[in-house]
Amino acid sequence: MSKVSSLSKAVEEIPDGASIMIGGFMGVGSPLKLIDELIRQGKHDLTIIANDTAKPGFAIGKLIDAKAVSRLVASHIGLNPETQKQMIAGEIEVELVPQGTLAERIRAGGTGLGGVLTKTGVGTVVAEGKQTIDVDGDTYLLEKPLIAQFALIYAWRADHFGNLQYELTARNFNPPMAMAAGTVIAEAGEIVPVGVIPPDQVETVSVIVDTLVGRED
């Protein structure tokens, strides 16, 4: 029943051109080994959905440095000048999404909702081309769900079934992303026997996790 795989095998199933959600906030809570392996295997033309692109030389920033990304959906790229450079040069297509809207679009994608209604962005450039809906006198933007072929998750601890726990601010986008992708590959700081994580403390349920990679692999 163990979902533990080798790092190289886990990443080999991701094709060039794939859409991939990657957890993390400025690299904190990002699956650093999976990212390194994407680069080592020369994956390219990727669509990355993530909060940010960290900074050059670190976490998702390494994928940008390697020019492996052709499309990016993110809320913030201000701390990575290389991403801005490639965006201005037309090498990466960037869709900027307000952070709370990004989280909700991913949640909607993972939970079977046709979108969410939010006041965030109403009347701004974010609203351009989007439908607005009035509910009880307030105007909301319709924001559509986001899904991806793959989600790369970092968990503090996993059991062999793939139940996941997270730590502090390394949680961020990982739990909703694990729900919103066809194939979920989780990198865990520690993998423990089934039963060690009590049911009340499981944050991401094993049934949605496909492959586990240990940090020691």
Partner 1 sequence: MNAKEIIAQRVAQEMNDGDLVNLGIGLPTMVANYLPAGVRCFFQSENGIIGMQPLDGPGSALDALTDAGGSPTSVIPGAAAFDSVASFGFIRGGHLDVTVLGGMQVDEDGMLANWMIPGKMVPGMGGAMDLVAGAKRVIVAMTHTAKGAPKILKKCNLPLTAVRRISLIVTEMAVIEPTAEGLVLREISPEVTVDDVKAATEASLIVAPDIGVMKLAA
**Footprint of partner 1 (CB under 8 A):** 25-29, 51-52, 54-55, 74-79, 84, 87, 96, 98-104, 106-107, 118-126, 156, 166-176
CB of 1 to partner 1, least distance (A): 27
Smallest distance from the beta carbon of 113 to partner 1, in angstroms?
A: 12
| Shortest separation between residue 37's beta carbon and partner 1, angstroms | 20
Measured from the CB atom, the residue of 66 and 117 that comes closer to partner 1 is 117
Taking the least distance from each CB to partner 1, the nearer of 42 and 128 is 128
Q: Name which of 161 and 166 has its Cβ closer to partner 1.
A: 166
User: Is-contact 19 49, C-beta < 8 A?
Assistant: yes
How near is the Cβ of 120 to partner 1 at its closest, in Å? Answer: 5
